[in-house]
Amino acid sequence: MEKKTSTAKSSSNSKQTSSQNNESKLLNKFFVDGLKDIYWAEKALVKALAKMEKKATSEELKNAFSQHRTQTEQQVSRLEQVFESIGSKAVAKKCEAMDGLIREANDIIDETEDKTMTRDAALIMAAQKVEHYEIATYGGLVQLAKTLGKNDAANTLAQTLQEEKQTDELLTQVAESTINIEAAEETA
């Protein structure tokens, strides 16, 4: 019984890794396109997070954005490592979704008043929409990397996935512990 299970496992593993002509596979092309998309997004986020830090009201949120900006710079480098590990050139291709999410964050800055906690509450929501897009993207890319037998790439992408999840949780904490409560007291 046990033997059967392990045989089945190893045969499915060898299927995953016997990457005959992997580079020409359609799924591989989709994987590389996905990397280009998130590479564009992370680079755009380095700039967007700097603006969000500048426009946030509370020190707590400024610090959270500043920390995540540093992490995001590392995530850009990590993607360059992934491109290298699969023998592809690091190329950025515009991510329409992230472009839209960043525009939404900019609209929030325009539509909320400076130095209010309502600004911060709204910026946290905008930032969490970004993190959720990233979590979905990296989650999918880790799975594809594993399926394609690119284990180094999978591990590197999983590190970033973890950081995006932690950032999302940190933002929830910041919102719930102080910012939303103070924002609720503000009047026009």
CA nearest 120: which of 47, 166, 186? 186
- The residue with its CB nearest to Fe ion is 95
Looking at the Cβ atoms of 92 and 109, the one nearer to Fe ion is 92
CB of 113 to Fe ion, least distance (A): 26
Angle between helices 96-111 and 26-55 (to 10 degrees): 10
CA atoms within 13 A on the CB side of 106: 10
C-alpha to C-alpha distance for 44 and 142, rounded to whole angstroms: 21
The answer to whether 118 and 112 have CB atoms below 8 angstroms apart is yes
CB of 157 to Fe ion, least distance (A): 11
Rounded (5°) CA angle 132-133-135: 60
CB of 173 to Fe ion, least distance (A): 16
Looking at the Cβ atoms of 53 and 134, the one nearer to Fe ion is 134
Looking at the Cβ atoms of 109 and 170, the one nearer to Fe ion is 170
* Residues contributing to the site for Fe ion (CB under 5 A): 37, 42, 72, 75, 95, 97, 134, 164
Where does residue 127 fall: left (phi above 0), alpha (psi -120 to 50 degrees), or beta otherwise? alpha
Looking at the Cβ atoms of 90 and 149, the one nearer to Fe ion is 90
CB of 176 to Fe ion, least distance (A): 19
